[in-house]
Structure 1
Amino acid sequence: MPHRTELYVDPPSACWPIVYSPDYNITFVGLEKLHPFDAGKWGKVINFLKEEKLIADDLIVQAREATDEDLLVVHTRRYLNKLKAGKLAVDRGWAINVGGGFHHCSSDKGGGFCAYADITLAIKFLFERVPGVSKATIIDLDAHQGNGHERDFMDDHRVYIMDAYNRYIYPGDGFAKRAIKRKVELEWGTEDTEYLQKVHTHVEGALNELKPDIIVYNAGTDILDGDPLGGLAISPQGIVKRDEVVFKAARSRRIPILMVTSGGYQKRTARIIADSILNLHNLGLIDKELATSGAGNPKVEQMIRDSAKDLCNLSLQ
């Protein structure tokens, strides 16, 4: 029996399936400026999207805090938030959590700026609570190996992991690599042409090998040329194209996709993420309407109808 949770209260259908909270942005008497990570990146992404008139405050899904009972699905009693996006992706066909992507954290330990195993928790929530979701594919395109979720799903055949990363940098977790079904190890300074060809080939290959019920896409921007921690040389246009490749592959197969933004350690990263989201919208790969990816799946369609009915009933009370 699934435990009671407030994380899955259905948002109004008028909201974009874009999840955000001002609490994502970290400040500590100015000391955050001394760290290479842009602690205000997520708020900047939202502001850029507002400036382009794509979204407004009342059209964003507000992230909710998880309770102790929620955390116990994966963790011991710790604080966590922004987990709503998994079911939202299934309902709408896609979702983007402007934060998240803590792929170095596993259920028993953190690492690499990652305190919480949000990818693991989102997938386990879906398996537990959403009818028709029994297989997941993680496409991890952050510059670093996603050893946290790899350790968590080491022996779980319901989860297929593709991971493309700089082979020479943190974490170099040989044990966790055993969980990767499709491993793409990149060289220092890999550039757009080679990178995009490999992403396209291996994303297509992964989804042809196993069609999942949900894709979790870890879209780190630390692949950007000049990133102090990534060691790759991908242009801003290359990042936008990469996200396009992944979403096209998901949408052409009618697979719901959840995107999290993960690493990215330059000030221009926020603008690039916003440009990528705008590009996905301009190409018709994301929109504000209720699920298109779930169309044709009776269980998903019924869930959408039930959610819409519940919202109507609430509005009449």
Structure 2
Amino acid sequence: MRPHPAMPPILVSHPVFHTPRHTGRHPLAIRRVGALIDVLHALKWLAPDQYCEGEAASREMLLAFHDGAYLDALLQANDPDCDQTLLREKFKIGTLDNPIYPGLFERTSLLIGCATLAADLALQKRTVFFSAGGTHHGRPDRASGFCFTNDPVFAIKHWLGKGLERVAYIDFDAHHGDGVEDEFFDDPRVLTISIHEQKRWPNSGVASTESALNFPVQKGFDDQEFSLLLRKEIHPALNRFKPEAVLVMSGADALQDDPLCGLALSIPSLRNAILSILDHAPIRMIVGGGGYNPWNAVRLWASLWARLNAFPIPHPLPDEVRAILEGLEAPRIPKDRVRPEWLERLDG
């Protein structure tokens, strides 16, 4: 990746994302963003001027994508007197995938405020990483697939509103980026590209069009196959489109040993693919996305941040970093299945 001289990358976040809100056996009842911040601080990789906190998006901002009735439902979700059946059946709020938790509307609004800030900072031609983002299944009128909103859509809309004419969205998540594709399906200014596991929820993204390229891949899809797909399909498509801006969904659930998915990429392979996409445009933004093995997600994002800053990755890891990784838990990964390398290195 060609870095911008004297323009260090920026990490956008907010303390509300540093603690998981889901509980029990929900796949997102895991600590990822907060652990990433802890690791970066432990390694002294996060300078104060490289960290920015966003503010909650206004209702007017949220209406750029969401229906007013859906926003009202989100706002009322924590009211014990609201119609929970209506929330579940009409808006998919309060389902097993999309459970209600305290501060749901606040967290949703902050997600979009941070995504908009990240997109705006990227316009300064600085690479921006919003690790809490990546809610690519969210719909205008309902929640979907753990997503109450769709921050990539808001980021892209912000760029289009600022006059950009060629925006590329590249989704490496193991699940098809259906919400983003559908929102921009008829907009020639936006190219969406999704590499995802076939026969995996949401069971879409089978066919391609000129502006929506889909690459469903088989379970066990590995580094060698990934490299070939990038070289033969993804980079040529971006070269033809010539984007002014790229938004990359990092998708740590595409890594080997994810409890929900069956792809088999390594951290260096996925990280280097993300970096290679950034070379296609001067305006660059990365969001986190899926990843239900917290050890993998944190290590991918930390090693990505290291490469963005040209930091050497230590091996073995300092004791403080090991302690952070050892403290992680996942409801779907028993402690006896935690591999030693998950605690010992960021890039393997």
Q: Secondary structure at the match of 2:157?
A: helix
Structure 1 consecutive aligned stretches of length 4 or more whose deviation exceeds 6 Å: none
Q: Secondary structure at the match of 1:34?
A: coil
- Would the alpha carbon gap of residues 209 and 172 (structure 1) be closer, same or farther in structure 2, given more than 3 Å must change? same
Structure 2 length-normalised TM: 0.70
Aligned position for 2:58:
67
In structure 2, C-alpha distance between the alignment counterparts of 1:190 and 1:126, rounded to whole Å: 33
In structure 2, C-alpha distance between the alignment counterparts of 1:142 and 1:226, rounded to whole Å: 14
In structure 2, C-alpha distance between the alignment counterparts of 1:226 and 1:52, rounded to whole Å: 25
Alignment RMSD, CA only?
2.5
- 1:1-317 matches, within 5 Å, as 16-27=9-20, 32-57=23-48, 59-77=50-68, 78=71, 79=105, 80-81=109-110, 82-83=114-115, 84-128=117-161, 130-131=162-163, 133-173=164-204, 181-247=212-278, 249-250=279-280, 254-268=281-295, 269-282=297-310
Structure 1 length-normalised TM: 0.76
CA contact (8 A) 2:9 2:309 kept: no
Residue identity over aligned pairs, in percent, reads 27
In structure 2, C-alpha distance between the alignment counterparts of 1:241 and 1:14, rounded to whole Å: 20
Task: Return the offset for 1:16.
Answer: 4.8
CA contact (8 A) 1:101 1:119 kept: yes
Q: Secondary structure at the match of 2:252?
A: coil
Task: Return the offset for 1:255.
Answer: 2.6
Q: Secondary structure at the match of 2:265?
A: coil
In structure 2, C-alpha distance between the alignment counterparts of 1:179 and 1:100, rounded to whole Å: 26
- Would the alpha carbon gap of residues 32 and 157 (structure 1) be closer, same or farther in structure 2, given more than 3 Å must change? same
In structure 2, C-alpha distance between the alignment counterparts of 1:203 and 1:186, rounded to whole Å: 14
Query: Could you tell me which amino acid in structure 2 is paired with residue 195 of structure 1?
Result: F
In structure 1, C-alpha distance between the alignment counterparts of 2:154 and 2:206, rounded to whole Å: 21
In structure 1, C-alpha distance between the alignment counterparts of 2:20 and 2:173, rounded to whole Å: 24
Structure 1, unaligned runs of 5 or more = 1-12, 285-317
Task: Return the offset for 1:34.
Answer: 2.5
Give the count of matched residue pairs.
264
Task: Return the offset for 1:204.
Answer: 1.3
How far does the alpha carbon of each residue in 1:243-266 deviate from its partner, in whole angstroms, 9 at most, with x for none?
Answer: 23223x33xxx4311100100000
Task: Return the offset for 1:187.
Answer: 0.6
Task: Return the offset for 1:58.
Answer: 5.7
